[in-house]
Amino acid sequence: MMNEREILSQIQALNIDQVEEFNDFRAEYETLMMEYRCAIMEVETKLNVLNSEFAMSHNRNPIQTIKSRLKQPKSLLAKLKRKQIDVSIRGIEENISDIAGVRIICSFPEDIYAIADLLLHQDDIRMLEIKDYIKHPKESGYRSLHLIVEVPIFLSTGKKLRKVEIQCRTIAMDFWASVEHQLKYNKNLKNTEQITRELKECADIITSVDFRMQELRGKIAYVESKPEPETKEEKKDERIFKTYEDDGMAMGSSHDYLRSLAGS
């Protein structure tokens, strides 16, 4: 936990006027951050339970890694300043939705929607916002499914609701995003236009590989489930999750559910 001197030094480095105000509610701020850490733990527990149950039912884990982070004071205060929001507990609670962050790394694109669907079906999770950058990638090539959810935490004083941002990616998407982040913040970078173009091309290639690997997994699962084919003629595998069709992506049941919640 940061001490008062560390917090104040970060604020002063940003030239924020409300230093004294922030110092006054330091105890409230630390309590708020504790609550967001508890919200992260709640989400992580739910995801670990779903991953274990899925492994028991399907003999594989859809989630490879779960990462989490709590927004640092410097980053939080910079965002408040950028949005012209007063440095206050209420300002943070009402206007900042990504203080608590959880990142889910999955093996295949269909696992992303399956896990998101299972999580959102839980009656104590409420989705506030969805941004599907897999179906609608950013111009840079960035792909991920972003969810803002509200999760209850249970304290000695009672129940509270806290927001958590959940990012769902495949291993390949996470690799690309990590490299792109490193290059993006390289101030000595030259030929930025060319590099941006090549990064976009790499993102498209990685996405193609992601869905090709998904199809291969589906074919293997189909063969294993039917050791003796009905005919010698190879039949089309209807169980494979086809991703790109008329409008860019065929919607599975879980994706339909997410879209309906988002009102799209």
Which positions are annotated as active-site residues? 165
Strands 100-106 and 158-170: parallel
3-state class (DSSP) for residue 22: helix
Q: 8: number of CA atoms within 13 Å, CB side?
A: 10
CA distance 122 to 13: 42
Rounded to the nearest 5 degrees, what angle is found at the Cα of 42, between the Cα atoms of 40 and 44? Answer: 70
SS3 (DSSP) at 43: helix
d(CA 25, CA 27): 5
Contact 66, 48 (CB under 8 A): yes
CA angle 170/173/177 to nearest 5° reads 140
63-70 and 126-132: which strand pairing? unpaired
d(CA 231, CA 226): 12
Bridge partners (DSSP) of residue 164 are 149
